[in-house]
Amino acid sequence: MNDLFPPIYHQSMKTGHRFKRLRALPFRIVLPNLVTLLALCAGLTAIRMGLEARWEWSVGAVALAAMLDAIDGRVARWLKGTSKFGAELDSLADFVNFGVVPALILYLWILDLNQSFGWLAVLAFAIAMALRLARFNVMAEKPIADWQKNYFTGMPAPAAALCSLLPLYLNQFLPIPHDRTVATIVAAYVIFIAFMMVSTIPTYSGKKFGARIPREVVIPLSVGFVLFVAALISYPMLILSVATLAYLAYIPIGWRTYRRHASAQPPAPAEQVDDGPDDEEDNGQGGA
């Protein structure tokens, strides 16, 4: 009976230590993977909601997958449960949740009106996501300067997924015609987001923002967070539209800030020159 399923081997992302084959793994090792699987379930549910034309629920499921993707890496680090198994599982889940699901939702919503170009946009988005995640896996252990950890290389996977759905957000409170011309514009926008994913344009990550919170701002920050979540639940499409537009508008500012930091740094030796900001350092789990 014990040989029906192969044992799971976990190897530490930091030390390379491989846990011995034990009768039972510590739950802290398994919990981050369960969060990743919950995110995968949310992404697949978004496809079902799209097939039923329940667009707000579909968008909500993608947003939930993005939040769970942000949580699993932090949970793994807090519990010291990061592993290469978790890294591979997270990468596969990210491809489905953020590379396949949003593109299919947009195709079901409007891109099918321009079948050839619409499907080309779907393929471009999914391929760009696969390439980005592959690049992340290759570069994850590449050492970078401390200031570069504030930036991503290109648009990260969860942000790209949420940004790609901007036309669907706007459709909920703006009279957008549902015709082939609009489908062509949406397809071009999706291809632009795909380009942003595989580009080397630095985007601000905010990973260090809020790492340490002054005591005097804990209460107002907590109130603001609760109000934001309440507004997101009450007016999801409006809040997501504003947040997406603000994120896209900030990309040129982040690019200029990165270049200013880079120009202020002393040149590295030839063998250590970095060709751009590294991807998210999430220790094996979390969004890429």
Find the mean pLDDT for residues 30-39.
89
Average model confidence (pLDDT) for the chain?
82
Distance from C-alpha of 14 to C-alpha of 5, rounded to nearest angstrom = 27
CB 155 within 8 A of CB 190: no
CB within 8 Å of 217: residues ≥ 6 apart = none
Alpha-carbon distance 104 to 218, whole Å? 40
pLDDT at 10: 58
**Which DSSP symbol is given to 26?**
-
| Comparison of pLDDT for 235 and 212, the residue scoring more | 235
Q: Is the pLDDT of residue 53 over 90?
A: yes
Share of the chain above pLDDT 90, in %: 47
**Cα distance between residue 58 and residue 39, in whole Å:** 13
| pLDDT tens, residue by residue, 155-169 | 999 999 999 999 999
pTM: 0.81
Whether the Cβ atoms of residue 277 and residue 202 lie closer than 8 Å to each other: yes
Angle at which helices 55-78 and 101-109 pack, to 10 degrees? 170
Q: What is the mean pLDDT of residues 53-61?
A: 95
Residue range 135-158: average pLDDT?
78
Return the pLDDT at 275.
Answer: 46
CA–CA gap between residue 22 and residue 166 (Å, rounded) = 47
- Cα–Cα distance between 256 and 278 in angstroms, integer? 17
Percent of the chain topping pLDDT 70: 78
The domain spans of the chain are 27-272
| 236 Cβ neighbours under 8 A, 6+ residues apart | 56, 59, 60, 63
Instruction: Look up residue 212 and give its DSSP letter.
Output: S
Q: Which helix (H) or strand (E) holds 202?
A: strand 202-204
CATH code given to domain 27-272: 1.20.120
Q: Which of 121, 62, 71, 73 is nearest to 96 (CA)?
A: 62
The torsion angles phi and psi of 152, rounded to 5 degrees, stand at -105, 155
The larger pLDDT score, comparing residue 35 to residue 278, is at 35
List, in order, residues 6 or more apart from 9 with CB less than 8 Å away: 18, 19, 21, 85
How far, CA to CA in Å, does 243 sit from each of 39, 155, 196, 200?
Answer: 21, 15, 17, 22
What is the pLDDT, as a whole number, of residue 199? Answer: 93
**pLDDT digits 0-9 by tens, 59-110:** 999 999 999 998 887 777 787 767 778 888 899 999 999 999 999 999 999 9
| Phi (first) and psi of residue 21, to 5 degrees | -70, 105
Coil/strand/helix, residue 142: coil
246-267: pLDDT as tens digits: 999 999 988 888 888 778 776 5
Predicted confidence at residue 262, as pLDDT, reads 78
Please tell me the predicted confidence (pLDDT) of residue 219. Answer: 87
DSSP labels, 76-131 = HHHTT---HHHHHHHHHHHIIIIIIHHHHHHHHHTGGGGHHHHHHHHHHHHHHHHH
Give the confidence band of 125 by pLDDT, cuts at 50, 70, 90.
very high
CA–CA dist 166, 189 (Å, integer): 9
Mean pLDDT, range 198-216, rounded to an integer: 76
Indicate if the pLDDT at residue 47 is higher than 80.
Answer: yes
Mean pLDDT over 172-195 rounds to 93
Q: How far apart are CA 118 and CA 183, in angstroms?
A: 7
pLDDT greater than 80 at residue 283 = no
